[in-house]
Amino acid sequence: MMNRRDVMMSAAAAALAGCTRETLPSAAVDGAIGVVSAANPHVFPLLLAMSVDPDLPVRLFPVAESRDADTLFASGQADAMLAMTYMGAKKRMSGAIPDLRLHSISTWRGFFEVVPEGITNFSDLRGKTVIVSGPVGSGKDGGGDIIFQAAARRQGIDPARDLRVEYMPSAQGIARVAAGLAAGITLPSPGNTGVVMRSHIAANPIAGAIMRARPGEQGKSVRLTSGIDFQRIFAGYASFPDGQLPLGGLFVSERTLAQEDKRNKLDQLARAYEQAVELLMADPGRHAAAIAVSFARHFESVGAGAPPARLLTRSLEAGDLIYRTDVPLGAVRSDLAAWLRELLGREVDAAFLG
Protein backbone atom coordinates (compact mmCIF):
# COMPACT_ATOMS: atom_id res chain seq x y z
CA MET A 1 0.00 0.00 0.00
CA MET A 2 1.32 3.45 -0.88
CA ASN A 3 1.87 5.90 1.97
CA ARG A 4 0.87 9.55 1.76
CA ARG A 5 4.32 10.69 0.59
CA ASP A 6 4.37 8.07 -2.19
CA VAL A 7 0.95 9.24 -3.36
CA MET A 8 2.12 12.85 -3.41
CA MET A 9 5.28 11.97 -5.33
CA SER A 10 3.34 9.89 -7.86
CA ALA A 11 0.87 12.69 -8.42
CA ALA A 12 3.69 15.18 -8.87
CA ALA A 13 5.39 12.85 -11.33
CA ALA A 14 2.22 12.54 -13.36
CA ALA A 15 1.78 16.30 -13.43
CA LEU A 16 5.36 16.84 -14.46
CA ALA A 17 5.15 14.22 -17.20
CA GLY A 18 2.30 16.16 -18.72
CA CYS A 19 4.42 19.25 -19.37
CA THR A 20 7.99 17.97 -19.89
CA ARG A 21 9.73 15.06 -21.54
CA GLU A 22 11.70 12.50 -19.55
CA THR A 23 15.22 13.79 -18.95
CA LEU A 24 17.79 11.20 -17.93
CA PRO A 25 21.59 11.41 -17.89
CA SER A 26 21.76 9.10 -20.91
CA ALA A 27 19.35 11.25 -22.92
CA ALA A 28 21.50 14.38 -23.20
CA VAL A 29 22.15 16.07 -26.52
CA ASP A 30 25.44 15.57 -28.34
CA GLY A 31 28.28 17.64 -26.92
CA ALA A 32 26.36 18.42 -23.73
CA ILE A 33 28.07 19.81 -20.66
CA GLY A 34 28.70 16.98 -18.21
CA VAL A 35 27.85 18.22 -14.73
CA VAL A 36 28.72 16.30 -11.57
CA SER A 37 26.78 16.82 -8.37
CA ALA A 38 26.36 15.05 -5.08
CA ALA A 39 22.92 15.09 -3.48
CA ASN A 40 23.25 18.61 -2.13
CA PRO A 41 20.99 21.70 -2.40
CA HIS A 42 23.00 23.24 -5.24
CA VAL A 43 21.54 20.75 -7.69
CA PHE A 44 17.91 21.80 -7.10
CA PRO A 45 17.90 24.74 -9.56
CA LEU A 46 19.66 22.62 -12.18
CA LEU A 47 16.99 19.94 -11.87
CA LEU A 48 14.32 22.60 -12.33
CA ALA A 49 16.13 24.03 -15.35
CA MET A 50 16.34 20.57 -16.91
CA SER A 51 12.62 20.03 -16.29
CA VAL A 52 11.69 23.38 -17.83
CA ASP A 53 13.93 22.80 -20.87
CA PRO A 54 14.54 19.11 -21.68
CA ASP A 55 16.81 20.21 -24.56
CA LEU A 56 19.20 22.02 -22.23
CA PRO A 57 22.70 20.83 -23.25
CA VAL A 58 23.56 19.15 -19.96
CA ARG A 59 24.24 15.63 -18.81
CA LEU A 60 23.95 15.20 -15.04
CA PHE A 61 26.27 12.75 -13.29
CA PRO A 62 24.89 12.07 -9.78
CA VAL A 63 27.54 10.94 -7.27
CA ALA A 64 27.33 9.71 -3.69
CA GLU A 65 30.27 11.81 -2.48
CA SER A 66 32.31 14.61 -4.01
CA ARG A 67 35.43 12.44 -4.35
CA ASP A 68 33.53 10.41 -6.94
CA ALA A 69 33.79 13.41 -9.27
CA ASP A 70 37.54 13.06 -9.65
CA THR A 71 37.53 10.10 -12.04
CA LEU A 72 34.75 11.66 -14.11
CA PHE A 73 36.88 14.75 -14.70
CA ALA A 74 40.03 12.69 -15.32
CA SER A 75 38.22 10.63 -17.97
CA GLY A 76 36.85 13.72 -19.71
CA GLN A 77 33.21 12.81 -19.06
CA ALA A 78 32.68 15.72 -16.67
CA ASP A 79 33.14 19.36 -17.65
CA ALA A 80 31.63 21.08 -14.62
CA MET A 81 30.57 20.46 -11.05
CA LEU A 82 28.04 21.84 -8.57
CA ALA A 83 29.43 21.84 -5.03
CA MET A 84 30.37 23.90 -2.00
CA THR A 85 32.79 26.67 -2.93
CA TYR A 86 35.35 25.33 -0.46
CA MET A 87 35.03 21.77 -1.79
CA GLY A 88 35.87 23.01 -5.27
CA ALA A 89 38.84 24.96 -3.90
CA LYS A 90 40.02 21.88 -2.01
CA LYS A 91 39.97 19.80 -5.19
CA ARG A 92 42.17 22.30 -6.98
CA MET A 93 44.52 22.64 -4.00
CA SER A 94 44.92 18.89 -3.57
CA GLY A 95 45.41 18.22 -7.29
CA ALA A 96 42.34 15.97 -7.41
CA ILE A 97 41.04 18.19 -10.24
CA PRO A 98 44.01 20.51 -10.83
CA ASP A 99 42.43 22.69 -13.53
CA LEU A 100 39.13 23.33 -11.75
CA ARG A 101 37.92 26.95 -11.65
CA LEU A 102 35.02 28.68 -9.94
CA HIS A 103 32.65 29.94 -12.63
CA SER A 104 29.83 31.45 -10.56
CA ILE A 105 28.21 31.45 -7.12
CA SER A 106 24.54 31.15 -6.29
CA THR A 107 23.53 29.47 -3.02
CA TRP A 108 23.98 31.71 -0.02
CA ARG A 109 22.41 30.01 2.98
CA GLY A 110 21.83 26.56 4.29
CA PHE A 111 24.04 25.09 7.10
CA PHE A 112 22.85 24.67 10.67
CA GLU A 113 23.62 22.60 13.75
CA VAL A 114 20.35 20.97 14.77
CA VAL A 115 20.30 20.69 18.55
CA PRO A 116 17.87 20.29 21.47
CA GLU A 117 16.14 23.51 22.45
CA GLY A 118 18.26 25.61 24.82
CA ILE A 119 21.58 25.06 23.01
CA THR A 120 22.68 28.21 21.19
CA ASN A 121 26.42 27.86 20.50
CA PHE A 122 29.24 25.34 20.27
CA SER A 123 30.33 26.05 23.84
CA ASP A 124 27.03 24.54 24.99
CA LEU A 125 28.09 21.32 23.24
CA ARG A 126 31.42 20.99 25.04
CA GLY A 127 32.00 17.38 26.10
CA LYS A 128 28.94 16.13 24.23
CA THR A 129 28.49 13.80 21.25
CA VAL A 130 27.75 15.53 17.96
CA ILE A 131 27.13 14.04 14.53
CA VAL A 132 28.59 15.00 11.17
CA SER A 133 26.88 13.25 8.29
CA GLY A 134 26.74 12.97 4.54
CA PRO A 135 23.59 12.51 2.45
CA VAL A 136 24.70 8.96 1.64
CA GLY A 137 28.17 8.33 3.12
CA SER A 138 29.75 9.07 6.48
CA GLY A 139 30.37 12.75 5.76
CA LYS A 140 33.96 12.69 7.06
CA ASP A 141 36.09 15.35 5.31
CA GLY A 142 33.04 16.37 3.27
CA GLY A 143 31.37 19.75 2.89
CA GLY A 144 29.48 19.56 6.18
CA ASP A 145 32.55 18.42 8.08
CA ILE A 146 34.76 21.24 6.82
CA ILE A 147 32.32 24.02 7.70
CA PHE A 148 31.45 22.36 11.04
CA GLN A 149 35.12 22.23 12.04
CA ALA A 150 35.68 25.87 11.07
CA ALA A 151 32.49 27.10 12.76
CA ALA A 152 33.43 25.34 16.01
CA ARG A 153 36.92 26.88 15.92
CA ARG A 154 35.33 30.32 15.40
CA GLN A 155 33.59 29.87 18.75
CA GLY A 156 36.70 28.71 20.56
CA ILE A 157 35.97 24.98 20.40
CA ASP A 158 38.49 22.40 19.21
CA PRO A 159 36.31 19.57 17.85
CA ALA A 160 39.02 16.95 18.39
CA ARG A 161 39.54 17.97 22.02
CA ASP A 162 36.25 19.46 23.20
CA LEU A 163 33.62 17.38 21.40
CA ARG A 164 32.92 13.72 20.74
CA VAL A 165 32.42 13.74 16.98
CA GLU A 166 30.82 10.78 15.21
CA TYR A 167 30.42 10.31 11.45
CA MET A 168 27.55 8.46 9.78
CA PRO A 169 24.93 8.80 7.01
CA SER A 170 22.36 11.48 7.72
CA ALA A 171 19.39 9.14 8.30
CA GLN A 172 21.30 7.31 11.04
CA GLY A 173 22.61 10.54 12.57
CA ILE A 174 19.21 12.20 12.61
CA ALA A 175 17.74 9.18 14.40
CA ARG A 176 20.42 9.39 17.10
CA VAL A 177 19.83 13.08 17.74
CA ALA A 178 16.04 12.69 17.69
CA ALA A 179 16.32 9.89 20.25
CA GLY A 180 18.50 11.99 22.56
CA LEU A 181 21.62 9.88 21.93
CA ALA A 182 23.60 12.81 20.50
CA ALA A 183 23.45 16.55 21.24
CA GLY A 184 23.68 17.90 17.69
CA ILE A 185 23.99 17.17 13.98
CA THR A 186 25.32 19.34 11.16
CA LEU A 187 22.72 19.53 8.39
CA PRO A 188 22.12 21.60 5.26
CA SER A 189 18.67 22.82 4.30
CA PRO A 190 16.10 21.51 3.67
CA GLY A 191 17.20 18.65 5.94
CA ASN A 192 17.40 20.78 9.06
CA THR A 193 13.93 22.20 8.41
CA GLY A 194 12.43 18.74 8.18
CA VAL A 195 14.14 17.40 11.29
CA VAL A 196 12.98 20.36 13.39
CA MET A 197 9.41 20.12 12.07
CA ARG A 198 9.30 16.39 12.78
CA SER A 199 10.59 16.81 16.33
CA HIS A 200 7.92 19.41 17.09
CA ILE A 201 5.21 17.09 15.78
CA ALA A 202 6.60 14.22 17.85
CA ALA A 203 6.59 16.44 20.96
CA ASN A 204 2.80 16.71 20.69
CA PRO A 205 1.42 14.04 23.04
CA ILE A 206 -1.10 12.61 20.58
CA ALA A 207 1.04 12.89 17.42
CA GLY A 208 4.08 11.60 19.30
CA ALA A 209 2.20 8.55 20.54
CA ILE A 210 1.06 7.75 17.00
CA MET A 211 4.60 8.14 15.63
CA ARG A 212 6.13 5.99 18.36
CA ALA A 213 3.59 3.27 17.64
CA ARG A 214 5.02 2.88 14.15
CA PRO A 215 8.01 0.62 13.45
CA GLY A 216 11.28 2.53 13.66
CA GLU A 217 9.76 5.54 15.41
CA GLN A 218 10.40 4.56 19.04
CA GLY A 219 12.05 7.12 21.28
CA LYS A 220 11.82 10.10 18.95
CA SER A 221 10.72 12.70 21.47
CA VAL A 222 13.47 15.32 21.73
CA ARG A 223 12.29 18.77 20.66
CA LEU A 224 14.93 20.16 18.28
CA THR A 225 15.82 23.51 16.78
CA SER A 226 18.23 24.87 14.17
CA GLY A 227 19.91 26.46 17.16
CA ILE A 228 23.36 27.17 15.71
CA ASP A 229 23.25 29.17 12.50
CA PHE A 230 26.59 28.74 10.73
CA GLN A 231 25.92 31.78 8.56
CA ARG A 232 25.89 34.02 11.65
CA ILE A 233 29.09 32.54 13.05
CA PHE A 234 31.32 33.70 10.18
CA ALA A 235 31.00 37.42 10.82
CA GLY A 236 33.44 40.00 9.49
CA TYR A 237 33.20 39.50 5.74
CA ALA A 238 31.66 42.82 4.73
CA SER A 239 30.84 41.92 1.13
CA PHE A 240 28.74 38.88 2.06
CA PRO A 241 25.00 39.56 2.41
CA ASP A 242 23.87 39.64 6.03
CA GLY A 243 23.30 36.15 7.40
CA GLN A 244 24.47 34.47 4.21
CA LEU A 245 27.65 32.78 2.96
CA PRO A 246 28.97 32.01 -0.54
CA LEU A 247 28.28 28.31 -0.09
CA GLY A 248 27.44 27.06 -3.56
CA GLY A 249 29.34 27.24 -6.78
CA LEU A 250 29.41 26.10 -10.39
CA PHE A 251 32.92 24.92 -11.24
CA VAL A 252 34.38 24.21 -14.65
CA SER A 253 37.61 22.70 -15.93
CA GLU A 254 40.05 24.86 -17.87
CA ARG A 255 39.98 22.16 -20.56
CA THR A 256 36.30 22.91 -21.09
CA LEU A 257 36.88 26.67 -21.14
CA ALA A 258 39.42 26.18 -23.92
CA GLN A 259 36.70 24.82 -26.24
CA GLU A 260 34.49 27.50 -27.80
CA ASP A 261 31.52 25.18 -28.32
CA LYS A 262 31.67 24.03 -24.69
CA ARG A 263 32.03 27.62 -23.47
CA ASN A 264 28.88 28.62 -25.34
CA LYS A 265 26.94 25.70 -23.86
CA LEU A 266 28.32 26.50 -20.42
CA ASP A 267 27.00 30.05 -20.75
CA GLN A 268 23.61 28.66 -21.79
CA LEU A 269 23.62 26.34 -18.79
CA ALA A 270 24.59 29.16 -16.41
CA ARG A 271 21.77 31.37 -17.71
CA ALA A 272 19.26 28.52 -17.35
CA TYR A 273 20.43 27.90 -13.80
CA GLU A 274 19.98 31.58 -12.91
CA GLN A 275 16.51 31.64 -14.45
CA ALA A 276 15.58 28.53 -12.49
CA VAL A 277 16.78 30.21 -9.29
CA GLU A 278 14.53 33.17 -10.00
CA LEU A 279 11.54 30.90 -10.69
CA LEU A 280 12.13 28.85 -7.56
CA MET A 281 12.60 31.80 -5.21
CA ALA A 282 9.58 33.63 -6.64
CA ASP A 283 7.20 30.69 -6.22
CA PRO A 284 8.65 27.70 -4.32
CA GLY A 285 5.34 25.90 -4.04
CA ARG A 286 4.84 25.87 -7.79
CA HIS A 287 8.19 24.28 -8.62
CA ALA A 288 9.13 22.12 -5.62
CA ALA A 289 7.27 19.03 -6.89
CA ALA A 290 9.15 19.05 -10.20
CA ILE A 291 12.45 19.24 -8.33
CA ALA A 292 11.51 16.44 -5.94
CA VAL A 293 10.48 14.12 -8.78
CA SER A 294 13.59 14.88 -10.82
CA PHE A 295 15.83 14.44 -7.77
CA ALA A 296 14.33 11.03 -7.04
CA ARG A 297 14.80 9.97 -10.66
CA HIS A 298 18.43 11.04 -10.90
CA PHE A 299 19.76 10.30 -7.42
CA GLU A 300 18.05 7.02 -6.64
CA SER A 301 21.04 5.26 -8.17
CA VAL A 302 23.38 6.65 -5.48
CA GLY A 303 21.02 5.92 -2.60
CA ALA A 304 19.85 9.46 -1.87
CA GLY A 305 16.22 10.02 -0.95
CA ALA A 306 14.34 12.92 -2.49
CA PRO A 307 13.18 15.83 -0.30
CA PRO A 308 9.39 15.99 -0.08
CA ALA A 309 8.08 18.91 -2.12
CA ARG A 310 6.30 20.38 0.90
CA LEU A 311 9.54 20.35 2.90
CA LEU A 312 11.52 22.06 0.15
CA THR A 313 8.82 24.71 -0.13
CA ARG A 314 8.80 25.27 3.64
CA SER A 315 12.59 25.57 3.76
CA LEU A 316 12.64 28.22 1.03
CA GLU A 317 9.72 30.17 2.43
CA ALA A 318 11.23 30.12 5.95
CA GLY A 319 14.56 31.45 4.69
CA ASP A 320 16.51 28.36 5.78
CA LEU A 321 17.53 27.89 2.15
CA ILE A 322 18.26 30.91 -0.04
CA TYR A 323 19.49 31.05 -3.63
CA ARG A 324 20.91 34.27 -5.06
CA THR A 325 22.24 35.19 -8.49
CA ASP A 326 22.41 38.95 -7.93
CA VAL A 327 25.79 38.95 -6.15
CA PRO A 328 28.53 38.56 -8.78
CA LEU A 329 31.72 36.72 -8.00
CA GLY A 330 33.76 39.87 -8.56
CA ALA A 331 31.92 41.69 -5.76
CA VAL A 332 33.00 39.17 -3.12
CA ARG A 333 36.24 37.76 -4.56
CA SER A 334 38.54 39.19 -1.89
CA ASP A 335 36.38 38.15 1.06
CA LEU A 336 35.70 34.78 -0.55
CA ALA A 337 39.44 34.12 -0.82
CA ALA A 338 39.85 34.99 2.88
CA TRP A 339 36.91 32.80 3.89
CA LEU A 340 38.25 29.84 1.90
CA ARG A 341 41.61 30.33 3.61
CA GLU A 342 39.87 30.25 7.01
CA LEU A 343 38.04 27.04 6.20
CA LEU A 344 40.87 25.20 4.43
CA GLY A 345 43.94 26.60 6.16
CA ARG A 346 45.64 27.49 2.87
CA GLU A 347 45.63 30.30 0.35
CA VAL A 348 43.52 29.43 -2.66
CA ASP A 349 45.13 29.71 -6.10
CA ALA A 350 44.18 33.10 -7.55
CA ALA A 351 43.39 31.45 -10.91
CA PHE A 352 40.74 29.34 -9.17
CA LEU A 353 38.69 32.48 -8.47
CA GLY A 354 38.83 33.57 -12.11
CA distance 354 to 341: 16
CA distance 258 to 254: 6
pLDDT tens track, the chain, 354 positions: 334 334 333 333 333 333 333 334 434 456 899 999 999 999 999 999 999 999 999 999 999 988 999 999 999 999 999 999 999 999 999 999 999 999 999 999 999 999 999 999 999 999 999 999 988 888 999 999 999 999 999 999 999 999 999 999 989 999 999 999 999 999 999 999 999 998 888 765 443 443 344 444 444 568 899 999 999 999 999 999 999 999 999 999 999 999 999 999 999 999 999 999 999 999 999 999 999 999 999 999 998 989 999 999 999 999 999 999 999 999 999 999 999 999 999 999 999 998
Per the prediction, the chain carries an average pLDDT of 88
Q: What is the DSSP string of 187-243?
A: EETTHHHHHHHHHHHHHSHHHHHHHHTSTT-TT----EEEEEEHHHHS---TTSPTT
Q: Does domain 111-233 have CATH number 3.40.190.10?
A: yes
* The predicted structure's pLDDT at residue 137: 84
Q: What is the DSSP string of 156-184?
A: T--HHHHSEEEEEEHHHHHHHHHTTSSSE
Q: What burial class does residue 21 get, using C-beta atoms within 10 Å of its C-beta: 0-12 exposed, 13-18 middle, 19+ buried?
A: exposed
- 4-109+247-353 topology per CATH: D-Maltodextrin-Binding Protein; domain 2 (3.40.190)
Q: Note whether 227 and 128 are within 8 A (CB).
A: no
Count the residues in the chain.
354
CA distance 219 to 47: 36
Which residues lie below 8 Å from residue 90, measured CB to CB, with a gap of 6+? Answer: 96, 146, 344
CA distance 279 to 325: 12
* The predicted structure's pLDDT at residue 203: 60
Domain extents for the chain?
4-109+247-353, 111-233
* The predicted structure's pLDDT at residue 17: 35
CA distance 127 to 231: 23
| 4-109+247-353 and 111-233 share one fold | yes
The answer to whether the predicted template modeling score (pTM) of the entire model surpasses 0.75 is yes
Dump pLDDT digits (tens) for 217-235. 444 568 899 999 999 999 9
* The predicted structure's pLDDT at residue 220: 53
CA distance 26 to 335: 39
Helix axes 284-299, 43-52, angle to 10 degrees: 100
Strand ranges (DSSP E) for the chain? 33-37, 58-62, 80-84, 100-105, 107-109, 111-116, 129-134, 164-169, 184-188, 224-229, 248-253, 322-323
Torsions phi, psi for 130 (to 5 deg): -130, 155
* The predicted structure's pLDDT at residue 136: 84
* The predicted structure's pLDDT at residue 209: 40
